[in-house]
Chain A
């Protein structure tokens, strides 16, 4: 048995390992999938960030360009007014002078996150303020009746420097944004590359895992099929082994029964002699005793006390003991003979209505049931395909036992019940009698063994007979009981007994 288990264990182990590998591979595959999805999401977010940044840069550039345009326009308006004193130029100048700080504030807002740009815009704002006040001064000079040209030309020196500086600053700002964008683009490219590579590696691993899993699953399936086939053949082997073993057991059983038959048979012969000659001896006591009587009467001196005692006491006593012993031996031999004969009987299975059978058993014992004031209750019983005579003997023995071992302090109650259970039929005989010590539950089924106080006649054969019959019917018998608490005998039989092929004598 052990040798058979080892390869099985190995196989199980390798199977378990394979299962674990497949499981981890599938889990790894899912992790890969999650990683790839994460990478894609990350890359998408990065590109979205990037487009936002591009928009931002373009916006800043556009704002800067706009500011430059406004600066040029205000300059143009001032020059126009200084030259022609047309109030329309003044109008444009005023409008633009309002717009410029607004535009600067917008740029400041857009670039508030960049300290360099903030520094530049602050400077820009200061320069613009100065520039605007210079321009406003020249306008005011013109309005006051001056030529304005002088003022303008006087101012030109500073004006040009400021304008140059403003232009430089705005260029710088644009450039800074552009540089930033380029740097961001590079990092964006790197991140996209990283995510692409991650996704690609994940996809590759996924494919590998998929192939590996498919391969492993196929291998496991193949192993499973092989195991199934092996199991089937083992099963078949087992069946044939069981058949062979059963045949062997039946042969051994038949041999034991033959042996029991021969032994009991051969024991009878000498027993006939022992009993026969004991009877002859017994018969011989009568004339002897008469002789003693006569001698005592006619010549009392001839009879010693010893002779009288031998003939009147010793001989009858010895003969009595020989008698009871041989009678007991005779009963035992007969029991063995009966058991072995029962074992040699060919069973003839047929459908047995257990209700009818139980009724018959109870009827046959009705006299004793009434005598002892016992109540017998029979619950509905299933039908069994088995040997009728054997089941009848079993049930009869069990009910008889229940009747025999009543508890003296309460009225007897016997219940016969039965049910079908997993392809077998259970028949129970329950009583409320004196019960059986749990230590004796096995022993009571042995030949010539009894339990409890030996106040009832019997040789300890009934239950041995019951068990032998139960085994022959392919069944088992068990006992459940405690001292003083009644007993339940449970007979388990196959629902259908296979017909026998012949007598196993």
Chain B
């Protein structure tokens, strides 16, 4: 990860329980990066693009994105982030959702999602998957956002 700045993890997940379980298991994998959690798309977008401490203005980030949000689809957020003129187009996005629809998965990768993970229903598998994701997060390189 960046030598100067820690990578912030932005988690956009409408289910608080899921969010808590995801966080717990990421921590268990030894990932200590700060995690910012948002329950809905609007607030998340505001933080991503406009907040002074958000990824666009301040340092590298990684986004954990759920597709089923109360106010919008996670796809909209993905589209905004991966748009050509977006400062966050290189920011890694991990789609983490319950949908395992083939069409949905294809669409997310087409739009530029970096990883797509289906939440397993079985908790043990779920916990394991999140821990593996945590391990993965601890080793990947995240670029700095374009701040020109």
Interface string of A308-345 (1 = CB under 8 A from B): 00000000000000000000001001100000000000
Size range of the interface on B? 10 to 19
**Judging by beta carbons under 8 Å apart, are B21 and A333 in contact?**
no
A277 to B23, CA, bound (A): 13
Cβ–Cβ < 8 Å partners of A279 in chain B: 123-124, 127
A273 x B121 contact (CB < 8 A): no
Q: Give complex CA distance A444, B72 in Å.
A: 42
Q: Are A272 and B127 in contact (CB-based, < 8 A)?
A: no
| Contact, CB under 8 Å: A272 / B119 | yes
Partner of A275, one of B15, B98, B99, B123: B123
CB distance from A261 to the nearest CB of B (A): 9
Contact A273/B17 with A268-B98, A330-B122, A333-B121 known, Cβ cut-off 8 Å: yes
Contacts of B17 in A (CB 8 A): 270, 272-273, 276-277
For the complex formed, measure the closest distance between the CB of A300 and the CB atoms of chain B, giving whole angstroms.
Answer: 34
A453 located at the interface, meaning its Cβ lies under 8 Å from any Cβ of chain B in the complex: no
Within the assembled complex, what's the spacing in Å between the Cα atoms of A499 and B135? 48
The CA-CA distance from A277 to B18 in the complex, in Å, is 10
Complex CA gap A272/B15 in Å reads 10
A244-281 interface with B by 8 A CB criterion: 265, 268-273, 275-280
Residue of B nearest to A344 (CB): B101
Number of interface residues of A (CB under 8 A): 16
* A265 B121 Cβ-Cβ under 8 A: no
CB distance from A298 to the nearest CB of B (A): 30
Query: Does B24 have its Cβ within 8 Å of any Cβ on chain A?
Result: yes
Give CA–CA (A268, B127) in the complex, Å. 15
The answer to the question of B49 belonging to the interface, with a C-beta cut-off of 8 Å to chain A, is: no
Nearest-neighbour CB distance to chain B for A365, whole angstroms, equals 26
Chain A residues with Cβ below 8 Å from B116 are none
Q: Establish whether residues A330 and B121, one from each chain, have CB atoms under 8 Å apart when the complex forms.
A: yes
Quick one: CB contact mask for B51-87 with A, threshold 8 Å, 1 for yes? Answer: 0000000000000000010000000000000000000
A269, A275, A280, A334, most chain B CB atoms within 10 A: A269
Given A268-B121, A271-B121, A272-B119, decide whether A277 and B21 contact each other with a Cβ distance below 8 A: yes
B residues in contact with A270, CB < 8 Å: 15, 17
Closest to B103 in A: A505
Q: Indicate if the CB atoms of A276 and B21 lie closer than 8 Å.
A: yes
Q: Which residues of A contact B (CB under 8 A)?
A: 265, 268-273, 275-280, 330, 333-334
> Lowest 5 A-B CB distances belong to which pairs?
A273-B17, A275-B123, A276-B21, A276-B123, A279-B123
